[in-house]
Structure 1
Amino acid sequence: MTRPYQIILDTNVLLAGLRSSRGASYKLLSILNDTRWQLNISTTLIFEYEEIPKRQKDQLTLNNQDIDNIIEALCAISNQCNIFCLWRPIASDPDDDFLIDLAMECQADFIITYNQKDLQAAEKFGIRVLTPKEFLQQVGEIS
């Protein structure tokens, strides 16, 4: 059996998928539990998954409990990584360094984000930085 792709999902993808059921982000969220890939999270990423949607909950038409339930579901299907080594500073936006730290720790194949520019440094380590649409094309979910 081949190793599933190890993926990191940036918070902007989660937000986009919660805002609209029409785009690639929503499609990706709906198939995250696929055996072809493994979602990886860290405590820092979980906190960001919680904090940002709750700050924007009125735009999402969700309440705090809805957001908590979504995060619990994501945690249930994810590999929790503990980060022991920091590669900082590496991202062009220091607020995104933790995503590269996580990707390195869990040996991620992909960081899925709409913020490719700030995370390009991950590609030095063989981690591909793709949009949700590009990832779905890569795995054959869309053409």
Structure 2
Amino acid sequence: MRVVLDTNVLYSALRSNRGAAFAVLMGLRQGRFQIALSVALCLEYEDVLLREPTPLPKHAIHDILDQLAAVSSHPRMSFLWRPQLRDPKDDHVLELAINGQCSHIVTFNVRDFGGSERFNIQAVTPAQFLTLMGGPP
């Protein structure tokens, strides 16, 4: 299974090791699923994680981003599907999911991805995704 992790999931996972977002990240580490990653999304991850408070030092955040880049697929972004979503800032996430042949977008803002179903992509919360994977790692 290949998915896209929305920035809010990665941010939440790095702020606390107690929630569903952290369990999703651990599932990725264990190879239970794959992620697709684009340059645009990686830059968004970096911007948010370095700007917003986390318990991690900046060098650790860079190490995590390097690891995510190393284990992710990097689909060729050959089609522009914009605009599709009510928030144009989320269109690049849907576009990545389409081009990466992903089954899900894992996000805390499921409503923001209304319409992804047209592309056979389901937006789910981290907790819902854990259920789809058969439970926490």
> TM-score scaled by structure 1?
0.91
Structure 1: which 5+ runs fail to align?
Answer: none
1:117 equivalenced with 2:107 (yes/no) = no
* Partner SS for 1:111: strand
In 2, the alpha carbon distance for the partners of 1:29 and 1:36 equals: 10
Which structure has the higher relative contact order (CA within 8 Å, separation 6+)? Answer: 2
Instruction: Output the CA distance in 2 between the equivalents of 1:94 and 1:34.
Output: 33
Aligned residue in 2 for 1:20 = 16
Contact 2:27 2:33 in 1 (8 A): no
Q: Which residue of 1 aligns with 2:102?
A: 108
| Pairing 1:10-89 to 2, within 5 Å after superposition | 10-56=6-52, 59-89=53-83
The Cα shift of 1:33 comes to: 3.3
Counterparts of 2:13 and 2:119 in 1: how far apart (Å)? 28
In structure 2, distance between residues paired with 1:108 and 1:61? 30
Letter in 2 for 1:72: D
Query: After the TM superposition, which segments of 4 or more aligned residues of structure 1 sit over 4 Å from their partners?
Result: none
Q: What is the rounded CA distance, in whole Å, between the counterparts of 1:8 and 1:46 in structure 2? A: 11
Separation in 2, partners of 1:75, 1:106: 14
Partner of 1:138: 132
Secondary structure of the residue aligned to 1:129 is strand
Secondary structure in structure 2 of the residue aligned to 1:80: coil
1:28 match: secondary structure: helix
Cα deviation digits, residues 100-126 of structure 1 (max 9, x gap): 110110111000001111111111111
Distance (Å, rounded) in 2 between the aligned partners of 1:134 and 1:67: 26
- Calculate percent identity across the aligned residue pairs: 38
Q: 1:40 offset after TM fit, Å?
A: 0.6
Cα RMSD, aligned residues only: 1.1
Q: Is this contact kept in 1: 2:103–2:120, CA < 8 A?
A: yes
